[in-house]
Amino acid sequence: MQTVSDPQSLREQVQAWQKNGLTVALVPTMGNLHAGHLSLIDRAREAADRVVVSVFVNPLQFGPNEDFDDYPRTLTDDERQCRQQGADLLFAPGVAVMYPGYRHGQPYLATRLQADPRLAQTFEGADRPGHFDGVVTVVAKLFHLVQPDVAVFGQKDLQQYAVLEKMVTDLAMPVRLIRTPIVRETDGLALSSRNQYLNSAERALAPSLAQTLQSVCVRIQDAPAKSASILQQASQDLQALGFQVHYFSLVALPTLQAVIDPQMPCRDDGSEFAVVVAATLGQTRLLDNRILRLS
Ligand code: PAF
């Protein structure tokens, strides 16, 4: 596996594959790879002949008081894991490649995309203004640089997936998106690079989020008409344990519209629903979700 940081070496390699009729999958990441990312690489290998993993900690998707400076950067280890997992190319651009301009002494990208506000200003977007604009901008740029046939993202960031799917549709981007299931620790905690910020007491408590989510889904599945009270009670239970709950909602996919009456849901294009939750424990924001099919 080769690691490249400049667009020309990347394009030469990808074009050589595509000239030989090989398909290419991209797995965009911010590095600090864990088993969740490795499952994306596995899925990418199933979906295409060659796999490119990108590692770029994208400043544009972090708010001013978020953890951009502290975000773990572990490129040597990421490279080792990508090689072991069978990736074919690691693209690790410097900030000057992705943000070639300068403004107030900082790297800057003057041309940006705006994520669909209906999808991007609720849930994570309500608490992290501009976050999804940063995500769509960097992912669109990665798509232009790599020109993949397929790109793989995790269900863990379900809202991110919905926003990116909309971007691809709205802008007719010639790439197919694949969503892969959440990978969990044995105690149920959804894997995330940010789990390492939890201290040991918080880590012991953290699986309660996944456990509560699971029991909420079972109960909603049994009694969809009671979903509002089930979610409200579950939020209170988590608060009592020490979580600060930001949202705990039943939504319809792919629009992420909150479902008020699950007996008469806004069914969108299909009948997929999800329960989405975000809660902060100490300083760490934890996200989780489960997909539901309500009949
Ligand atoms: O999910 C992530 O790691 C990031 O949001 C992504 C998609 C790589 C864009 O920076």
DSSP state, 198?
A: S
Cα(48)–Cα(35) distance, rounded to whole angstroms?
20
3-state secondary structure of 288: strand
Give 37 Cα–ligand 1 centroid separation in angstroms.
Answer: 11
Q: Cα 213 vs. chain centroid, distance in angstroms?
A: 18
pLDDT of the residue at 142:
98
Give 233 Cα–ligand 1 centroid separation in angstroms.
Answer: 32
**Among 198, 230, 58, which residue's Cα sits nearest to residue 128?**
58
% of residues, the chain, pLDDT over 90? 89
Beta carbon of 78 within 6 Å of any ligand 1 atom: no
Atom of ligand 1 nearest to the CA of 56: 10
Residue located nearest, by CA, to atom 9 of ligand 1: 135
pLDDT of the residue at 213:
98
pLDDT of the residue at 259:
86
Read off the pLDDT of residues 181-240 as tens digits, 9 standing for 90 and up. 999 999 999 999 999 999 999 999 999 999 999 999 999 999 988 999 999 999 999 999
3-state secondary structure of 189: coil
Give 121 Cα–ligand 1 centroid separation in angstroms.
Answer: 17
Residue whose structure tokens are 């995500």 = 135
Ligand 1 mutation target, pool 61, 68, 97, 146, most atoms within 8 A of CB: 61
Cα(35)–Cα(31) distance, rounded to whole angstroms?
12
CA angle (72, 278, 259) in 5-degree steps: 145
264 pLDDT band, cuts 50/70/90, is low
Read off the pLDDT of residues 133-162 as tens digits, 9 standing for 90 and up. 999 999 999 999 999 999 999 999 999 999
Catalytic site positions: 37
Give 218 Cα–ligand 1 centroid separation in angstroms.
Answer: 30
**Among 104, 9, 93, 101, which residue's Cα sits nearest to residue 58?**
93
Q: Are 52 and 27 in contact (CB under 8 A)?
A: yes
Give 194 Cα–ligand 1 centroid separation in angstroms.
Answer: 13
Q: Which residues of 244-258 are buried (b: 16+ CB within 10 A; e: fewer)?
A: ebbbbbbbbbbebbb
Atom of ligand 1 nearest to the CA of 58: 10
Beta carbon of 58 within 6 Å of any ligand 1 atom: yes
Residue 180 has pLDDT above 60, yes or no: yes
Beta carbon of 29 within 6 Å of any ligand 1 atom: yes
Beta carbon of 30 within 6 Å of any ligand 1 atom: yes
Read off the pLDDT of residues 70-109 as tens digits, 9 standing for 90 and up. 999 999 999 999 999 999 999 999 999 999 988 887 788 9
The token pair that represents 166 in the structure block: 């909309």
Pairing verdict, β 50-55 and 89-91: parallel
Domains defined for the chain, CATH in brackets: 2-180 (3.40.50.620), 193-290 (3.30.1300.10)
Beta carbon of 79 within 6 Å of any ligand 1 atom: no
| Residues with Cβ within 8 Å of residue 37, at least 6 apart in sequence | 27, 29, 53, 81, 154
Taking CB atoms within 8 Å and a gap of at least 24, the contacts of 5-14 are 5/91, 5/92, 5/93, 5/94, 5/97, 6/93, 6/97, 7/93, 7/97, 7/145, 10/52, 10/89, 10/91, 10/145, 10/146, 11/145, 11/147, 13/89, 14/50, 14/52, 14/89, 14/146, 14/147, 14/148
Give 28 Cα–ligand 1 centroid separation in angstroms.
Answer: 6
Ligand 1 mutation target, pool 39, 160, 194, 287, most atoms within 8 A of CB: 160
Kindly state the helix (H) or strand (E) to which residue 1 belongs, with its residue range: none
Beta carbon of 135 within 6 Å of any ligand 1 atom: yes
Q: Are 289 and 182 in contact (CB under 8 A)?
A: yes
What global pTM score does this model have?
0.95
| Residues with Cβ within 8 Å of residue 244, at least 6 apart in sequence | 279, 280, 281
As a whole number of Å, the end-to-end CA separation of the chain is: 46
How many residues in the chain?
Answer: 295
Residue located nearest, by CA, to atom 2 of ligand 1: 29
Beta carbon of 157 within 6 Å of any ligand 1 atom: yes
